[in-house]
Amino acid sequence: MANANGKAGTGVSDKVSEKANPEANEATEIAGNIIYHAKYSPHFSPLKFGPEQALYATAESLRDRLIQLWNETYLHFHKVDPKQTYYLSMEYLQGRALTNAIGNLDLKGPYADALRKLGYELEEIAEQEKDAALGNGGLGRLASCFLDSMATLNLPAWGYGLRYRHGLFKQLITKKGQEEVAEDWLEKFSPWEIVRHDVVFPVRFFGHVQINPDGSRKWVGGDVVQALAYDVPIPGFKTKNTISLRLWEAKARAVDLDLFQFNEGEYELAAQLHSRAQQICTVLYPGDATENGKFLRLKQQFFLCSASLQDIISRFNERSTGEGSRKWSEFPSKVAVQMNDTHPTLAIPELMRLLMDDNGLGWDEAWDVTSKTVAYTNHTVLPEALEKWSQSLMWKLLPRHMEIIEEIDKRFVQTIRSTRVDLEDKLSSLSILDHNPQKPVVRMANLCVVSSHTVNGVAQLHSDILKDELFADYVSIWPNKFQNKTNGITPRRWLRFCSPELSDIITKWLKTDKWITDLDLLTGLRQFADNEELQSEWASAKAANKQRLAQYIERVTGVSIDTNSLFDIQVKRIHEYKRQLMNILGVIYRFKKLKEMKPEERKKTTPRTVMIGGKAFATYTNAKRIVKLVSDVGDVVNSDPEVNEYLKVVFVPNYNVTVAEMLIPGSELSQHISTAGMEASGTSNMKFALNGCLIIGTLDGANVEIREEIGEENFFLFGATADQVPRLRKEREDGLFKPDPRFEEAKQFAKSGVFGTYDYGPLLDSLEGNTGYGRGDYFLVGYDFASYMDAQAKVDEAYKDRKRWLKMSIMSTAGSGKFSSDRTIAQYAKEIWNIAACPVP
């Protein structure tokens, strides 16, 4: 076998003898286990041991340990039989697993030494790993942080998702702007997943409802595909507990291939069920502009819910005692199902169907079990994101579920009519089924609220908006159903592992590393915020992170950036409410002013590198125009010899977890500038604040709580507040808006052709006029622009005072303790799921 230098038969195999050793802790043993896997778990021809081969062999050596810990955890849970939580999410944004697993198992040193014995650096091998493409944005990354915290807190919990082969998409930035190509993370294979050939469940689509002679109902006919389980082990930090993210793959059976048709040359027809099954897990969020696209999205959602619930019920029944089957009334005391947003809403009618049709329960008993088992997390107040499915589509695809949803709705309406006459005129908006003759739909959020025992928002402001506005009438019916659970992030991935220099400094000054699992200890940094020695160490750690980031930016974009400039970063999904457009208009204004200055005036300005990144949904035209505008502005600014010493603009392509782990530690200013009341929480704001990055932002989502925790003097605030927004929109409609001259100047300059020939008219027109579809500046970019530019001027001044800036940075980290996902998950466990820690002894 060739070593790192490519010399077959020398080096690697001479220095290290291969030996299977799942429990290896010491470098030589680990190296032996890696070589064992390179030889005996081969995926490549035997004469190679390049970086890619080293990655897979290293991952498999680590997977040995994870499987052992997972087996111990699973057996322990089986023996103790605690209540368990099952977390259903359409997305998980896992990122790379190698460095995270090594870090959580506290094996970074031994693995680094082992790989050196084999001629490699750990960092080089980690770079070979592709991000798991199972998510898109904050929703998926939150789910992944939650899994890390569940494992770390020793909670009996599982994640359920889908095994998307091609993710959302890989983003390329070309002269045309954003282009999408399929993700290739499974082009070879993932070394982390373990296929469970014994865990397979049938999932039906279409068909009809058969009424039996005894009056019972059964869903029959249609297409039946198979859900096959793949487990990804999730290790906790410095604990034996290792839980599972179970991902479902859709398959058809061999008997579903029509050999007669195939041999007649009708290949597509013969394999149509195989083809339809394969489509289910091809991509995340397939376009739904067509009826086929809508069917596919709904299939994905139901496939996740049905497979997961069949698995949960099977696990519940496994525990039946010698005295016979478990009572179904015990189900809610053993099972908690959490729906992450409305995508898994079909878990409600599917659990009802499984209980009634497959297990013989009556309606009342099935409803009692279901409504005590499921809980719902709301993640948005945006109308387009509150899912509504066409009733006719649902009747075709899921006829039995529509019967059940109709019955839930009928009983809910009857209850309101008999107990809350005052709400009768509100029933048209409270009911689950909207019978608007033009477009009859099923309102998924309403179904979740009516059926769940608990509904939670994800930041205090967001939960208040849910209770006071979106779900106010439901609150009057069920005042105790609604809670807040402010989101959090795992401090392991988002500080300890991605910024080791800063972590070591924190540990040194706090005289403990316990902050990694007790983030509130960070408040101990406050007493040292003015200490010159700490400030000096802090500055050098930030400088190292900036240097790493600058090298990365040059490698992927070709743009060379000045590490002495202020690194100003906005990375998140591209969406008009997140207002990347305001950011780039501010940059355009800054560029224009720099061009107008004399050279000696420019020297007095604060040099700035503005980085913007994020994916625009493939069919979201205005979001894609924003990407194009940022890219075009960067091309002009970065090649302007008068200005590029003082301003650079970079669009960072293909934003994902790994890119975030580079950007966030190197950032000094981060923009979280959504229209107030529109961002449910945000979690990247927490990651930036934890890493000592200062925030310029509105009072939206978790920004409100971050500002409270770190101190308002350490937060650059601007913009309208959530309660002002409706009035400001009304004033705009009435023609009362008076734009700031800087706003008009920036727009005119953007339209002037200085940034190329692309027509930005349709994008900038969204900021014009007072009313109308796609006009009237719904997201208040114009109104907030003046205070935004004033806040940016304050940033420029603050950055010139290095001592003040460093103190603010330290205070930002020191105030971030509340935003640990450990705190969030501990609250879910106690206040929603009613589960307790179950540590493996």
Pairing of strands 157-162, 242-251: parallel
Find the DSSP H helices in 670-801: 684-690, 703-710, 725-733, 741-751, 761-764, 781-800
Report the pLDDT averaged over residues 407-418.
98
Do 794 and 725 lie in one domain? The reply is: yes
pLDDT tens digits for range 737-784: 999 999 999 999 999 999 999 999 999 999 998 887 778 999 999 999
Question: Do 440 and 504 sit in the same domain of this protein?
Answer: no
Say if 109 falls within a structural domain.
Answer: no
The answer to whether 731 touches 704, Cβ cutoff 8 Å, is: no
Q: Per-residue b/e over 396-406, b at no fewer than 16 CB within 10 Å?
A: bbbbbbbbbbb
pLDDT of residue 2: 47
Label residue 337 left, alpha or beta by phi (over 0 means left) and psi (-120 to 50 means alpha).
beta
With the C-alpha atoms ordered 761, 764, 770, 773, is the resulting torsion angle positive or negative?
A: positive
Has residue 686 been placed in a domain? yes
Q: For residues 294 and 439, what is the distance between their CA atoms, to the nearest angstrom?
A: 15
Report yes or no: 668 and 566 within 8 Å, Cβ to Cβ. yes
Residue 422 φ/ψ, nearest 5 degrees = -65, -20
Q: Which amino acid is at 496?
A: R
Identify the pLDDT of residue 770. 82
pLDDT at 92 over 80: yes
687 and 636 housed in the same domain: yes
pLDDT tens for 360-374 read: 999 999 999 999 999
The SS3 assignment for 140 reads helix
> Residue 169 in contact with residue 205, Cβ under 8 Å?
no
Q: Is 373 helix (H, G, I), strand (E, B) or coil?
A: helix
Question: Is 218's pLDDT higher than 70?
Answer: yes
**Using an 8 Å Cβ cutoff, are 248 and 229 in contact?**
yes
Residues 483 and 529 in one domain: no
pLDDT at 8: 35
Per-residue pLDDT tens for 155-171? 999 999 999 999 999 99
The number of beta carbons lying within 10 Å of the beta carbon of residue 224 is 17
17 domain-assigned: no
Residue 763 resides in a domain: yes
Closest CA to 38 of 48, 27, 30, 26: 48
372 and 504 housed in the same domain: no
Q: Which residues are catalytic?
A: 379, 572-573, 578, 683, 687
Cβ contacts of 60 within 8 Å, gap of 6 or more: 37, 41, 191
Strands (E), 325-481: 335-340, 374-377, 388-390, 433-434, 441-443, 455-457
**Do the beta carbons of residue 303 and residue 280 sit within 8 Å?**
yes
- DSSP 3-state of 175: coil
Strand extents, DSSP E, 312-412:
335-340, 374-377, 388-390
pLDDT beyond 70 at 26: yes
Q: Is the pLDDT of residue 10 over 70?
A: no
Nearest to 571 by CA among 691, 683, 460, 717: 683
393 CB contacts (<8 Å, ≥6 apart)? 291, 294, 295, 298
Residue 713 CB neighbour total at 10 angstroms: 10
Task: Residue 459: give the domain boundaries.
Answer: 81-95+131-487+827-832
Helix (H) or strand (E) holding 696: strand 694-697
- Identify the H or E element spanning 487: none
Tell me the C-alpha distance between 156 and 78, whole Å: 10
- Per the model's pLDDT, the better-predicted residue between 505 and 20 turns out to be 505
Instruction: Name the nearest CA neighbour of 127 among 655, 659, 691, 502.
Output: 659
CATH of the domain at 171: 3.40.50.2000
User: How many Å apart are CA 68 and CA 481, to the nearest integer?
Assistant: 40
**How far apart are the C-alpha atoms of 688 and 798, rounded to whole Å?**
18
Q: Tens digit of pLDDT for each residue in 282-306?
A: 999 999 999 999 999 999 999 999 9
* Distance in angstroms between the alpha carbons of the first and the last residue of the chain: 41
Whether 224 and 233 have beta carbons less than 8 Å apart is answered as no
Q: CA 182 to CA 146: how far, in whole Å?
A: 27
Answer yes or no: are the C-beta atoms of 173 and 651 closer than 8 Å.
yes
Q: What is the pLDDT of residue 5?
A: 42
Same domain, 462 and 507: no
Give the strand pairing for 455-457 and 482-484: parallel
Number of H helices, E strands in the chain: 35, 22
Identify whether 104 is part of a domain.
no
Gap between the Cα atoms of 306 and 312, Å rounded: 10
Residue 26 in any domain: the answer is: no
Looking at the domain assignment, is residue 43 inside a domain? no
Helix (H, G, I), strand (E, B) or coil at 33: helix
Quick one: 692 and 633 in the same domain?
A: yes
| 242 and 208, same domain (yes or no) | yes
Among 829, 824, 818, smallest CA distance to 154 is for 829
Q: Which of 328, 324, 304 lies closest to 316 in space, CA to CA? A: 328
What pLDDT score does 324 carry?
64
What average pLDDT does the structure give for the chain?
A: 95
- Distance in angstroms (rounded) separating the CA atoms of residues 819 and 378: 19
Shared-domain flag, residues 299 and 360: yes
Tell me, what's the pLDDT at 12?
Answer: 53
Dump pLDDT digits (tens) for 539-549. Answer: 999 999 999 99
pLDDT tens track for 515-547: 999 999 999 999 999 999 999 999 999 999 999
Instruction: Give 549-569 pLDDT, tens digit per residue.
Output: 999 999 999 999 999 999 999
Structural domains counted in the chain:
2
Helical ranges in 558-620 per DSSP H: 580-596, 599-602
> Which DSSP letter does residue 208 get?
E
Q: What is the pLDDT of residues 607-649, one digit of tens each?
A: 999 999 999 999 999 999 999 999 999 999 999 999 999 999 9
Contacts of 338 (CB under 8 A, 6+ apart): 85, 86, 87, 88, 374, 375, 376, 377, 828, 832, 833
pTM of the model as a whole: 0.96
User: Is residue 462's pLDDT more than 60?
Assistant: yes
Question: 526 with 654, same domain?
Answer: yes
Check whether 698 has a pLDDT greater than 50: yes
139: left (phi over 0), alpha (psi -120 to 50) or beta: alpha
Report how far apart, in Å, the C-alpha atoms of 836 and of each of 369, 487, 828 are.
Answer: 21, 20, 11
Is 123 exposed, middle or buried, given 0-12, 13-18 or 19+ CB atoms closer than 10 A? exposed
Looking at residue 3, what is its pLDDT?
A: 52
The amino acid at 767:
L
pLDDT score recorded for residue 15: 73
Fill in the DSSP letter of residue 829: I
Asked whether residue 483 falls in the same domain as residue 505, the answer is no
* Per-residue pLDDT reduced to its tens digit, 139-198: 999 999 999 999 999 999 999 999 999 999 999 999 999 999 999 999 999 999 999 999
Asked if the structure places residue 68 within a domain, the reply is no
Q: What is the pLDDT of residue 14?
A: 59
pLDDT band at 502 (very low <50, low <70, confident <90, very high): very high
In this structure, the answer to whether residues 444 and 511 fall within a common structural domain is no
Task: Provide the sign of the torsion angle of the four alpha carbons 526, 529, 533, 535, taken in this order.
Answer: positive
Check if the beta carbon of residue 623 is closer than 8 Å to that of residue 293: no
Query: By percentage, how much of the chain surpasses pLDDT 70?
Result: 98
d(CA 101, CA 114): 16
H/E element, 232: strand 223-235
